[in-house]
Amino acid sequence: MRRAVFLDHDEPAGSSNLGKRRRAVFLDRDGVLNRRRLALVRKPSQLVLLPEAPEAAARLSKAGFALAIVTNQEWVSRGYIARADHDEVMRRVVAALEDAGAKVEGVYAALTPETAKPRPAMLLQAARDLGVDLAASYMVGDNAKDVLAGRAAGCRTVLVDPRLRTAIQGANARADHVCRALPEAADWILSRA
């Protein structure tokens, strides 16, 4: 893993990597990489990775996409999840992806509502840090906030919806593609690369 960034305020605009413009896939954590629980994933023992997610991430990485995890984690700053537990959950997620052959280049966690999706702060910061061309990149998430953040950043968007029930949120009308799981999202992204 290249770096972990915890956003608790909007970062100033900058362009530290303008010379290295490349494609990226921004991955939401809960519901895309691990099973979304009715309750929060508060402890590492509660983490259940989705079985085919690490291999799907590895396919994207091997195809040349920079991978960054972008996750809303305001619960940490509110005291519902201990920072050490959050960090261990993230370490385990990254380790599982990298064990499958993916290269996770950044982990971005929004700790406050001001930086959380649907605002694009994490994607914009990752683009600056990693030298990413947002117009050639993808945001993969499991709810309307993810789709809106991707759109606001100028990315194509993929909505992961295991039960294909997104009409309730209306997110399916805004996403460029809707699928059941990350492997299908990877197939769709790779078919356009």
**Average pLDDT per block of 10 residues along the chain, 193 residues long:** 61 48 96 87 95 97 98 92 95 98 97 94 97 98 93 96 68 82 98 93
pLDDT score at 12: 47
Helix (H) or strand (E) holding 192: helix 182-192
CB-CB contact of 29 with 53 (8 Å) = no
pLDDT score at 37: 76
Domains of the chain: 4-192 (3.40.50.1000)
pLDDT score at 20: 57
Q: Which amino acid is at 110?
A: A
pLDDT score at 8: 63
Cα dihedral across residues 10, 11, 15, 16: positive or negative? negative
Active site residue 187: no
Catalytic residue (one of 8, 10, 28, 99): 28
Of residues 93, 122, 71, 77, the one with CA closest to residue 1: 93
Q: Which amino acid is at 163?
A: R
Residue 46's contacts (CB-CB under 8 Å, 6 or more residues apart) are 37
pLDDT score at 163: 75
| Exposure string for 100-135, b = 16+ CB within 10 A, e = fewer | bebbbbbbbbbbbeebbbbbbbbbbbbbbbbbbebe
The Cα angle at residue 103 between residues 35 and 14, in degrees rounded to 5: 100
Q: Where are the alpha helices (DSSP H) in 33-181?
A: 53-62, 74-77, 83-99, 121-130, 144-153, 171-174
Q: What whole-number distance in Å separates Cα of residue 182 and Cα of residue 188?
A: 10
Active site residue 30: yes
pLDDT score at 3: 57
pLDDT score at 15: 43
Helix (H) or strand (E) holding 156: strand 156-160
Catalytic residue (one of 8, 30, 85, 133): 30
Q: What whole-number distance in Å separates Cα of residue 160 and Cα of residue 144?
A: 10
